[in-house]
Amino acid sequence: MSEKLYQIIYRILFLVSFFFLFLAVLERLLITFSYTLSFITFGPGKLLQYAGIYALFTAVLLLRQIRDRLKK
């Protein structure tokens, strides 16, 4: 049961990181044309940082799971 729960959490975190990456790129493109997304209070750089943090956290969790499986 917990293994399936972990897989769902990993996928959600990975999708969140790509969503933040997409928002950062979109916001940067809109800024070049003097537009902005009104619901985003962060700049594209901060969104890119959040995307990197979520992706790194997901990678660490996956590597930890691989290490635990290899110990068995």
Number of domain units in the chain: 1
Residue range of the domain that includes 32: 2-71
What pLDDT shows up at residue 1? 57
The rounded Cα 57 to chain-centroid distance in angstroms is 9
What pLDDT shows up at residue 69? 87
Predicted TM-score of the model (pTM): 0.81
Q: What is the pLDDT along the chain (72 residues), one digit of tens a residue?
A: 577 888 888 889 999 999 999 999 999 999 899 888 878 788 889 999 999 999 999 999 889 888 988 987
What pLDDT shows up at residue 16? 93
